[in-house]
Amino acid sequence: MLQTTETPVKLEHAGINENTRHMLEKLKIVTVIGSGTMGNGISHVFAQSGFSVHMMDVKQAALDKAVATIGKNMDRQVSKNTLTEEAKQTALGRIVTYTDMAEAVKDADLVIEAATENIDLKIKIFQELDKACPEHTILATNTSSISITRIGSYTKRPGKVIGMHFMNPVPVMKLVEIINGYATDATVTQLVYDLSKYLGKVPCVVNDYPGFISNRILMPLINEAILALQEGVAGVEEIDTIMKLGMAHPMGPLQLADFIGLDTCYSIMNVLHMGFGNQKYAPATLLANMVQAGFYGAKSGEGFYTYTPGSKDLVVASRFQNKTWKM
Ligand code: CAA
C-alpha cells in the first residue's frame, strides 16, 4: 500500500495542465463508495494508476466479492501482457476495504460515489460525506443521470461537487464524462479533467442537464429498440443484429440494456421523462413491466437474453423466442 507521504502522480505525465499539476500531486487517497460493477471498476483503475484506494460498502461480503472481481479482471490484463503479475499484486495491495463511511473518508482527497442510481440515497450519502470528509475533499458522483447541481445543493461545498461518469467495463472503456454542476468551481473541473487523463482515460466535459450527453442519447436509442420489440416490428436477435452489423455497435441495444441493467435503464428514462417533461422520453411499457417483475438483465440472470454463469453464449430469453410474439 502507498504511504500517505508518497505521491502517486508522475510529474512528467504528458497532457496535464500546469495550473492543476500541484493540486494533482497532493491527491493520494481516493475513496470509492459502492463496490458493485462500477465501484469495483473505478477502484481497479485508480489502484492500477498508483492511488491509495479506500473501497467502502455496507456489507463486507460485497467488498470481498469486489476485490476478487478486480483480481480476476487484472488477471485478464496479465494474460494479455498489459499488466505484470507484480504490478497486479502491488495494485491490489493499494485497496483497503471499509464498511464504515466516516472511517473510509476521513483522509480522502477525492470521493467517488458509485452507489445505486437513486436520488434519495445519493442525497443521504452526500450529506454524510460532507460532514465526514476533510474540507478540501472533492466529492464526485458516478451518477448516470441525476442532477449534480441538486446533489451539490445538499452539501456545504457545492463548488467541490462534480460528476465523474465512468463507463462499464471501467478498465476497458476510455471515456470519462465529466459533469459540471451549476455551482462547480472551474478549478475542480480542471483537476478532475487532468486526473482522468492521468488515469489513461479521455475526459469530455458537459453541463448539467438530464442524462447529460451519454444517456440523453443512449437511453432513447435503447428505449426505441424496446418499443420496436414491444410492437412486434422485429425479434430480439434481429434488432440487435441490425444495430451490430449495420451500425458497427459492439453490442446490440437490447444486449447493452441487459448489460447496463434494465432497472438502471428504466430509472434513467424516468429522469429524462421528468426532467424534460417531454413524452418522447416515456419509458417503454415492456421495460417497466420487466423491471417490475424483477427481470433486470445480466445481473438477475434474465432480461432480453438468459445468462448462465460461466457461459459467454448469447441465448435469447425463451419468452422472446417466439418470432410472432406480441405484447
Ligand atoms: N476488466 C478488464 N478487462 C476487461 C473487462 C473488465 N471488466 N471486460 C472485458 N475486458 C477486456 C477483455 O479482456 C478483452 O481484452 P483484449 O481486447 O485485450 O482481448 C476486451 O476487454 C474485450 O473483451 P471480450 O473479448 O471479453 O469481449 P468483447 O470483445 O465482446 O468486448 C465489451 C466486451 C468491451 C464489453 C464490448 O462488448 C463493448 O464495448 N460493449 C459495449 C460497452 C458499452 O457500451 N459500455 C457503456 C455502457 S453505458 C455505461 O456504462 C454508462 C451508463 O450510464 C449506463
pLDDT digit of tens for each residue in the chain (327 aa)?
A: 333 334 455 544 556 767 777 778 889 999 999 999 999 999 999 999 999 999 999 999 999 999 999 999 999 999 999 999 999 999 999 999 999 999 999 999 999 999 988 999 999 999 999 999 999 999 999 999 999 999 999 999 999 999 999 999 999 999 999 999 999 999 999 999 999 999 999 999 999 999 999 999 999 999 999 999 999 999 999 999 999 999 999 999 999 999 999 999 999 999 999 999 999 999 999 999 999 999 999 999 999 999 998 888 999 999 999 765 555
Q: Classify each residue of 35-64 as buried b or exposed e, where b means 16 or more C-beta atoms within 10 Å of its C-beta.
A: bbbbbbbbbbbbbbbbbbbbbbbeeeebbe
Q: What is the pTM of this model?
A: 0.92
Judge whether 325 lies within some domain: no
Q: Is the peptide bond before 250 cis (omega within 30 degrees of 0)?
A: no
Residues 303 and 191 in one domain: no
Show the ligand 1 pocket: residues with CB < 6 angstroms. 73, 76, 80, 144, 167-169, 171-173, 214-215, 250-251, 256, 260
| Candidate from 37, 145, 172 with most ligand 1 atoms within 8 A of CB, to mutate | 172
- Residue closest by Cα to atom 16 of ligand 1: 80
Residues 226 and 243 in one domain: yes
Judge whether 9 lies within some domain: no
Catalytic residues: 144, 165, 177, 215
Residue 172 Cα to ligand 1 middle (Å)? 6
| Cβ–Cβ < 8 Å for 256, 243 | no
Range of the domain at 110: 18-207
| Residue 134, all three cell numbers | 476533510
Q: How many domains would you assign to the chain?
A: 2
- Residue closest by Cα to atom 28 of ligand 1: 250
> Residue 184 and residue 191: Cα distance in Å, rounded?
12
Work out which ligand 1 atom sits closest to the CA atom of 214. Answer: 53
Residues 225 and 203 in one domain: no
